[in-house]
DNA sequence: CTTTAGAAACATG
DNA sequence: CATGTTTCTAAAG
């Protein structure tokens, strides 16, 4: 998986995105409807929603404040199928991701990509993995802003005490995701 | 319009 | 209640 990252740390923030074009669409997935979007450099957004796709779309605009947006259902259909293809026919090798966030967020998200299916980790353990053992809560914040649900497996992060913890688009969906990978790990 | 300071908000422990 | 980071708001340059 090829990953392009972009930091929002400095003033480059605006300059770097003002010419970016984003194509998006919403599609049904095994875990409910999702908004999916990509730039020229790769998949940049994947978010489940229930009823109001507006909220999801608003979030997309927030993450890429100076981009221009085009809705194109046809263009995102294939991408969605690829992402949610059964493990047997995964070609995620060639999948490209385009991530944008603060340095801290990028660290958290990238580390999360290495957590294998079926494996659970606590917010604290994740904090330790990025060498900031006392930043468990900050990690919670970063995980909660994961721009690419499912692919960046934020659903595998749970509380230290064993309880499920939160999920931005519904704890029920978090459980469904975990149950699904418990079946075919 | 841009910068700054401070408070409030968080998918925690 | 402390933690680290981010976002929001208001005020000022």
pLDDT of residue A66: 83
A156 in helix, strand or coil? Answer: helix
Residue A183 has pLDDT above 90, yes or no: no
**Token pair listed for A98:** 């385009």
Are A115 and A90 contained in the same domain?
Answer: no
C-alpha pair distances (Å), A161 with each of A33, A122, A157 = 31, 9, 12
Residue A160 beta carbon within 7 A of nucleic strand B: yes
DSSP 8-state assignment for residue A49: -
Are A90 and A152 contained in the same domain?
Answer: no
Q: How far apart are CA A161 and CA A3, in angstroms?
A: 33
Burial status of residue A68 (CB atoms within 10 A of its CB: 0-12, 13-18, 19 or more): exposed
Residue A90 has pLDDT above 80, yes or no: no
Domain boundary among the residues A67, A98, A129 is at: A98
Are A86 and A27 contained in the same domain?
Answer: yes
Q: Which of A88, A62, A27 is nearest to A145 (CA)?
A: A62
Q: Does residue A172 or residue A88 have the better pLDDT?
A: A172
Residue A124 beta carbon within 7 A of nucleic strand C: no
Q: What DSSP string runs through A63-126?
A: HSTT-EEEE-HHHHHHHHHHHTS-GGG--GGG-EEEEEE-HHHHHHHHHHTTS-TT--EEHHHH
Residue A183 beta carbon within 7 A of nucleic strand B: no
Q: What is the pLDDT of residues A11-63, one digit of tens each?
A: 444 455 567 899 999 999 999 999 999 999 999 999 999 887 888 999 999 89
Please report, for the domain that includes residue A76, its CATH number.
3.30.160.70
- Distance from first CA to last CA of chain A, Å, rounded? 20
On chain C, which bases lie within 7 A of the protein's CB atoms? 2-8
On chain B, which bases lie within 7 A of the protein's CB atoms? 3, 9-13
Residue A92's pLDDT band (boundaries 50, 70, 90)?
low
Q: Do residues A137 and A149 make contact, with C-beta atoms less than 8 angstroms apart?
A: no
Catalytic residues of A: 154
Q: By percentage, how much of chain A surpasses pLDDT 90?
A: 77
Q: Do residues A125 and A140 make contact, with C-beta atoms less than 8 angstroms apart?
A: no
Are A94 and A9 contained in the same domain?
Answer: yes
Domain boundary among the residues A98, A118, A137 is at: A98
Looking across all nucleic acid strands, the nucleotide with the smallest C1' to CA distance from residue A145 is B11
CA of A144 to C1' of B9 (A): 12
Looking across all nucleic acid strands, the nucleotide with the smallest C1' to CA distance from residue A135 is C4
Are A32 and A64 contained in the same domain?
Answer: yes
Domain boundary among the residues A51, A76, A98 is at: A98
DSSP 8-state assignment for residue A170: -
Looking across all nucleic acid strands, the nucleotide with the smallest C1' to CA distance from residue A168 is B11
Query: Phi and psi of A145, rounded to 5°?
Result: -105, 15
Q: How many residues does chain A have?
A: 185
pLDDT of residue A11: 44
Q: Does residue A169 or residue A51 have the better pLDDT?
A: A169
Averaged over A92-106, what is the pLDDT? 89
Averaged over A119-148, what is the pLDDT? 97
CA of A71 to C1' of C12 (A): 40
């Amino acid at each position: 998986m090829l990953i392009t990252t972009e930091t929002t740390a400095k003033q480059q923030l605006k300059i770097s995105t003002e010419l970016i074009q984003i194509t998006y669409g919403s599609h049904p997935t095994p875990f409910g409807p999702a908004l999916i979007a990509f730039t020229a450099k790769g998949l940049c957004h994947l978010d489940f929603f229930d009823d109001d796709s507006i909220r999801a779309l608003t979030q997309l605009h927030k993450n890429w404040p100076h981009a221009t947006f085009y809705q194109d259902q046809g263009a995102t259909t294939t991408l969605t199928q690829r992402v949610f293809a059964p493990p047997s026919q995964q070609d995620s090798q060639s999948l490209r991701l385009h991530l944008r966030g603060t340095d801290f967020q990028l660290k958290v998200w990238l580390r999360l990509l290495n957590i294998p299916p079926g494996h659970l980790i606590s917010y604290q353990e994740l904090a330790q993995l990025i060498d900031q053992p006392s930043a468990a809560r900050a990690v919670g914040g970063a995980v909660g802003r994961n721009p690419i649900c499912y692919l960046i497996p934020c659903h595998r992060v749970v509380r230290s005490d064993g309880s499920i913890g939160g999920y931005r688009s519904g704890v029920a969906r978090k459980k469904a995701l975990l149950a699904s990978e418990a079946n075919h790990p």
